[in-house]
Structure 1
Amino acid sequence: MHQDSSPGEYEEGRGGVDAVLFDFHGTLAQLEPLTRSVSLAAEACGKRLSPLAVTALADAIGAQGWLGSGMEPRVRPNFADAWADRDLDEEAHREAFTALAAQAHGVFEGLAEALYDRLASPQGWVSYADTLATLVSLKAQGYPIALVSNIGFDARPVLRYLGIDRFIDAWVLSYEVGYCKPDEKIFYAACHALDVEPGRVLMVGDSIADAGASRIGARCYLLPHAEAGRAVGLDAVLKLVRTGC
């Protein structure tokens, strides 16, 4: 647990926060632009598409609610069960997102599978412009950090590829622990892993599910949507841990 040298320093410099929990997608990193993923997935299938064809396919897949598109997923009955379990099981995650992409207009054989491979690969992700500086500063000040993510594949290789895995003290991934945000149990698991009281953590995310941490007394900070590689507002986290929320 994070310790302070004196009550005065605690009140003025720590803001009642001893540790920080971070979401993954939309918080520390974002998928690469969908046009790039589509182009590379098509090449993996042996097809070189024109920029116009790539854009048309990316728009069609994004309209189905592909991860990072900001659109509501269009889940059909044939993969509804897999979708419901996508963040609890690796096979269900692959099945759900492959089926989601496959139903888009213009998707040819093999493209949905190749697109999922890109999603699950470290090279398919980009950290936000303010991610590294924020994590460096938090660790320099002695704050333990946990990654708390609803995810159906291992995020560790992704963060390793992005050069930020070394800042994570505890990994609380839904498909490993067996429950998803906003379930209180996943937040309790993160607090237990860091040995901190729930009321003394800050949860940083980008969705209502992340705000579920408030149910255990944690402070919450939700980020706006940002494109891959841009600043997402993580610099505010440094102020929040110092002054409170």
Structure 2
Amino acid sequence: MTIKGVLFDFSGTLFRVEPTEAWLRAVLDDLEVPLGEGESARTAAALERAGALPGGAAPVAVPAHLAELWAVRDQSAELHRAAFTGLAREVPLPDPRLYDALYSRHMAPQAWRPYDDAADVLAELRERGVKVGVVSNIGWDLRPVFRSHGLDPYVDTYVLSYEHGIQKPDPRLFALALEALGTDPRDALMVGDDRRADGGAAGLGCAVHFVDHLPADRRPDALRPVLGLVG
């Protein structure tokens, strides 16, 4: 089999969001909300347990009143915002402005870091003539993140769940990306970190390769094997 197109997940695959404590500190500083170092660390830990940072740790437990919303959070921008600000509101914060500001912060390009090998792998795929799509369960436009970090020239199409009202593992989302690339599923590879969501591509006949969702400094070269799979 010759791979002619590669689909990549976004968060935890090509990019990693900043640590929860840095996320909180950036917003505290921006709004000039005073919070001591110890209290800031405790609050960040509580937000992490709540799963309030999109792209960060999953909630330890989703509150019952948010369970239905959580299940469909990536189907629209409104649902995504409501789900994550809802989780954040489970944690007492010293200023009510922080909840919306935290949500806004996670969409900023500077809140994201590409994995160290992402640019090299995408550039090599482009050099080989392999088409690339990004397929993400998300509630906002991630294209500015790719542009800001210089990776946009390597991506042929973006298929984002909130723009289609469909979220992975629904095979229709992968099918939209493959149609945009003009690639048969049997000639495609899906690369992601979520075995359930990203594994949905296998239902179309795509090969699937998984990487671990780790902090960027702990995963320097997990994407490089993709080049060997492409051949």
TM-score by length of 2: 0.92
Structure 2 residue 46 is the aligned partner of structure 1 residue 60: yes
Q: Residues of 2 paired with 1:168 and 1:48: CA distance?
A: 41
Q: How far apart in 1 are the matches of 2:133 and 2:154?
A: 9
Mapped to 2, the partners of 1:194 and 1:38 lie a distance apart of: 38
3-state SS, counterpart of residue 87 of structure 1: helix
| Matched ranges for 1:32-51 at <5 A | 32-51=18-37
> Which amino acid letter does the alignment assign opposite residue 142 of structure 1?
G
Q: Any conservation in 2 of the 1:184–1:213 contact (CA below 8 Å)? A: yes
CA separation in 1, counterparts of 2:199 and 2:74?
A: 18
Letter in 1 for 2:198: D
SS in structure 1 of the partner of residue 189 of structure 2:
strand
| C-alpha contact 2:33 2:95 (8 A) present in aligned 1 | no
Partners in 1 of 2:94 and 2:58 — Cα distance? 18
Q: Establish whether residue 21 from structure 1 lines up as the match of residue 10 from structure 2.
A: no
| Structure 1: tracts of 5 or more residues without a match | 1-14
1:225–1:232 CA contact under 8 A, matched in 2: no
Residue matched to 1:10: none
Q: 1:31 to 1:193 in 2, by over 3 A?
A: same
2:228 aligned with 1:239:
yes
Contact 1:27–1:232 (8 Å) recurs in 2: no
Question: Does 2:166 correspond to 1:179?
Answer: yes
- Partner AA of 1:224 in structure 2: D
Kindly, what percent of the aligned residue pairs are identical? 38
Pairs within 5 Å for 1:9-158:
15-66=1-52, 67-72=54-59, 74-106=61-93, 108-158=95-145
Contact 1:39 1:48 in 2 (8 A): no
- With normalisation by structure 1, the TM-score equals 0.87
Aligned match of 1:12: none
Match of 1:226, SS?
A: coil
Decide which moves more: 175-184 or 215-224.
175-184
Identify the match of residue 202 of structure 2 among 205, 214, 227: 214
- Residue 111 of structure 1, CA deviation: 1.8
- Tell me what 1:227 maps to: 215
Q: Give the C-alpha shift of residue 65 in structure 1.
A: 1.9
- Output the amino acid matched with 2:229: L
Q: Distance in 2 between matches of 1:174 and 1:120?
A: 16
Distance 1:143 1:184, change over 3 A: same
Structure 1 runs of 4+ off > 3 angstroms?
66-74, 77-82, 105-108
Task: Give the deviation of 1:48 after TM superposition.
Answer: 3.4
Aligned partners of 1:33 and 1:228 also within 8 Å: no
Amino acid of the structure 2 residue aligned with 1:181: K
Aligned residues: 228
- 1:77: how far off? 4.0
Partner of 2:188: 201
Q: Please report how far the alpha carbon of residue 42 of structure 1 lies from its aligned counterpart in structure 2 after TM superposition.
A: 1.4
SS, match of residue 12 in structure 2? coil
Change (3 A) 1:131 1:20: same
